[in-house]
Structure 1
């Protein structure tokens, strides 16, 4: 049996899983199966969304290079009507960390010969020149940052579906429902022999790729030291046809302290608004180590399982503050579809793409730890995971011994959902 005939099982059909299936199939692998609780695009994936930002600014050179590679892929015919290169404006009110991030990001792009796409902006007049839709904004004379025309947004769920559809055309099999919902590993000593699913079946393969995003620590609790599952919040504003026409093709607008928003969706004329904060956790997971000590860790409380949760009142207030500041003409309008979106941060914001050290045979490959910046890599990340399948690993993505770095997000307190009204008085769908 050749390497490309080996049986590969991918657990999870979000950004990492779908992209990996596609790239392995493109390389000629002939026996690939993807499993997930949900049909693709998975409802629980962070990529199950109407839009995600596609940008190239990174203060880390590795990801700046990858983001430039990704945006070239987004421009190909495969993503026509999915990727919208509107440009974006990235600003801060003066937070030192955000300012430093902007400077380093600019230097990385300059070193790659991409500085010609960028203009520095400060104050309302310069910002409105690029984003006339902000002409009614309040208090943006103190905003400063950069405009980059090499950016925009993609319809996230449609993009994952497109990638998975193409994988299916190349022979990749997809299983969902109880037969696709992983509940645990089957092992013999230090070897993984199968994946147990909710139906009671056991899926066997030669290689297992765990691309389960925020659910990864819940499925393999030993990962709780490497991954921290958190959620962020968003709400939707519905515009009239006339209003939507005024915001059509608007650049993505992000302010480090306030949040970000997009042009209206093509379906439903919906503007998505996200407030900026360090994220919420849900510390319901428990892990007992070899010394008998119990550790609590965060696990997802998915909107698919708890549709009545909505978002915490404080998050709803932050979204309303964003509206009253940035697009005050919509102040007081109903905010619809308020939900949480789960991601998993690693300590250093690097992805976790490495063999699980507990299983030295290399049959279990971890492909997770999106750290809130993975979706833009959808067209290419599967190439890097496929490289890892074939033994070519990036040292930055190793398991263990990671340094805790600042996430770059505003604030420093990650609150627990139970402490901000989830399960009690809160905003409702």
Structure 2
């Protein structure tokens, strides 16, 4: 099916992938683009709907090293002033051998990519405190080793999504939310040909091309092909409130990331909050069911338990304890403070942590753009350009690493631990929103 600038294109999902794609398609001159989501832009179910996200270039995989360096240059453009902060990043391990190897490979890849001047191997208190004096009181700092990268930092994630969505709308993209924007499935004819997308209002939305960029919701929307290919998981975050004096003291710190403990950012002067995430392998919610009509085989899979649906859930006690352990080790002066605005953040993992950007195996006019694997937001300024290439059939966007099926499981060492608990098993059932 040929694609022209006035071809109708329906993007499902207004998160990182969907918003970036809408922007880049409009920038290329496409004039008939609709983006749907159950929430107004930016979608509050998106992992990118957040105070801040890490912008990094350290990867053990050369492909993402190159993409991250491209994205970093894009973040430096004037449109991201006041949203992107190049504070640098300290990434360390307390000694896990796999983490040490990961950091070694990341260092080598940056050197190969010509970014050696920006990165430095560091070890022990003296070398770490040189780049972040605020860590002088951290417990066990002598045991830390890792990387300092000055070409890294963070972005105000929600503001970045808002900016890109608003610019997309200015260029003519139409956004639909509510029941008309909530996909429930595909409309197929008797020959299994794709006729449109079903939405909660009962309507069928039709287009010449479709792009599914629904993140963690993807396996539940296309369970026949994705329930065994992607794994939806969530991670936990919380914040501590700081005084004006403390905000001034911690202003401009690099992103502090310890692979066994978690990570944090400089405090936000608007909200006076400092975000902290604990390091663990994630939670799942195995409430999805799919039965193959031909074989009768039933698949049970994880689907998101979004904070927008269950605002009273907060985070499990064990996750809060993990965040408190990070505080006690990294910034013990803040120990004992209440954790505020604690919530979960859903992503969907592929077996090998590569994105899934490929045509649907049966519907040529449906492009899959999902499988963020927890490292997509940093690509916000550029990923839509690659997805647009994939829509146009260009090899630049249809990389073999991003193809559908045939993936082999590879452990992601940036997520310590192996047990993926069901979040319903560890939530406090007394909370109103638990609905267990």
TM-score, normalised on structure 2? 0.96
Describe the shift of the 1:219–1:123 C-alpha distance in structure 2 as closer, same or farther (beyond 3 A).
Answer: same
**Contact 2:312–2:431, Cα closer than 8 Å, also in 1:** no
**Contact 1:87–1:152, Cα closer than 8 Å, also in 2:** yes
**Contact 1:312–1:426, Cα closer than 8 Å, also in 2:** no
Q: Deviations over 1:73-125 (max 9, x none)?
A: 00001101000000010000111111111111111110111011011111111
Q: Determine if the alignment matches structure 1 residue 398 to structure 2 residue 419.
A: no
Q: Determine if the alignment matches structure 1 residue 371 to structure 2 residue 373.
A: yes
**Contact 1:313–1:427, Cα closer than 8 Å, also in 2:** no
User: Which residue does the alignment assign to 1:410?
Assistant: 416
CA–CA separation in structure 2 for the residues paired with 1:2 and 1:117 = 42
Q: Determine if the alignment matches structure 1 residue 322 to structure 2 residue 323.
A: no
**Contact 2:38–2:179, Cα closer than 8 Å, also in 1:** yes
CA–CA separation in structure 2 for the residues paired with 1:422 and 1:17 = 34
Q: Deviations over 1:362-408 (max 9, x none)?
A: 11100000000000000000000000000121111100000100112
Question: Superposition pairs for residues 411-426 of structure 1, below 5 Å?
Answer: 411-424=417-430
The alignment yields a C-alpha RMSD, in angstroms, of: 1.4
User: Which residue does the alignment assign to 2:162?
Assistant: 161
Q: How many residues align?
A: 426
- Of 206, 229, 232 in structure 2, the residue corresponding to residue 226 of structure 1 is 229
- Of 245, 249, 252 in structure 2, the residue corresponding to residue 246 of structure 1 is 249
- Of 280, 284, 295 in structure 2, the residue corresponding to residue 281 of structure 1 is 284
Q: After the TM superposition, list the runs of 4 or more consecutive aligned residues in structure 1 that deviate by more than 6 angstroms.
A: 425-428
**Contact 2:3–2:392, Cα closer than 8 Å, also in 1:** no
How big is the shift at 1:5?
Answer: 1.1
**Contact 2:247–2:269, Cα closer than 8 Å, also in 1:** no
CA–CA separation in structure 2 for the residues paired with 1:191 and 1:96 = 50
- Of 298, 308, 320 in structure 1, the residue corresponding to residue 302 of structure 2 is 298
How big is the shift at 1:4?
Answer: 1.4
Q: Deviations over 1:113-153 (max 9, x none)?
A: 10110111111111111011111111111000010000000
Return 273-282 or 215-224, whichever deviates more.
215-224
TM-score, normalised on structure 1? 0.97
**What secondary structure does 2:227 align onto?**
helix
CA–CA separation in structure 1 for the residues paired with 2:421 and 2:158 = 28
**Contact 2:51–2:156, Cα closer than 8 Å, also in 1:** yes
**Contact 1:311–1:426, Cα closer than 8 Å, also in 2:** no
How big is the shift at 1:211?
Answer: 0.3
Question: Superposition pairs for residues 197-212 of structure 1, below 5 Å?
Answer: 197-212=199-214
User: Which residue does the alignment assign to 1:170?
Assistant: 171
